[in-house]
């Protein structure tokens, strides 16, 4: 699926700082079916199992290898909107010249989850190095001026993922710790935009477990 030609010129999907170092452990992906560029895997951190994700690794040029939460605490989740199709977003994250990537991408039509950067590593997604080190970035397929992209299943699967992240790192499930890209200091981005339903999303995050809501 190619970007909609009627849409505005695509934004720089995230800006990142190119600082080096970092490290702490999220239990690695368990193996499943493997492909040359991507595979479907289950993330099984201590204390529970994450929602199923497809591992579609970003270029190493678009994140900093780290060992979180030992080196940096994980204290928040940052919500993004791609301003791109799901497929093109993954291509951008795999492009070493892009210099940005988020940890996860959620597809609009079916809530399918791709993981592009391991949580232990620092993804360049927030445009603020301090926030990058302390957060998990989740991209959502769509455009901020078109709420039709924010489907029921996109909200649900994203909320399941965010709830699991918060449980793993003991992050409070509130608006001080689950924020939009627009709220990152120094960011020039406006996502997730006025049509993102924060009240609904926080209610889902606080009320859903992926194991009971699939």
Q: Residues with catalytic annotation?
A: 139
C-beta separation of 115 from 83 below 8 A = no
3-class state of residue 90 by DSSP:
helix
Residue 47 and residue 193: Cα distance in Å, rounded? 34
Residue 116 and residue 127: Cα distance in Å, rounded? 17
Vertex 197: Cα angle to 204 and 166 (nearest 5): 40
Tokens 């918060």 sit on residue: 166
92 burial level (CB within 10 Å; 0-12, 13-18, 19+): buried
């Amino acid at each position: 699926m190619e970007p909609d030609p009627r849409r505005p010129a695509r934004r720089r999907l995230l800006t990142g700082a190119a600082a080096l170092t970092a490290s702490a452990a999220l239990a690695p992906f368990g193996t499943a079916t493997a492909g040359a560029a991507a595979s479907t895997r289950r993330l099984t951190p201590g204390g529970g199992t994450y929602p199923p994700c497809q591992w579609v690794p970003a270029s190493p040029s678009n994140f900093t290898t780290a060992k979180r939460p030992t080196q940096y605490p994980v204290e928040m989740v940052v919500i993004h909107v791609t301003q791109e199709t799901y497929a093109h977003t993954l291509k951008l994250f795999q492009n070493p010249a892009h210099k940005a990537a988020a940890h996860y991408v959620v597809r609009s039509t079916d809530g399918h989850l791709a993981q592009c950067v391991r949580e232990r590593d620092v993804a360049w997604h927030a445009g603020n190095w301090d926030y990058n080190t302390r957060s998990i970035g989740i991209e959502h397929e769509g455009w901020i001026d078109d709420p039709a992209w924010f489907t029921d299943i996109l909200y649900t699967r994203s909320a399941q993922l965010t709830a699991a992240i918060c449980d793993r790192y003991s992050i409070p499930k509130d608006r001080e710790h689950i924020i939009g890209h627009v709220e990152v200091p120094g960011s020039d981005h406006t996502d997730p935009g006025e049509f993102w339903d924060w009240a609904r999303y926080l209610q889902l995050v606080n009320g859903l477990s992926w194991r009971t809501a699939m």
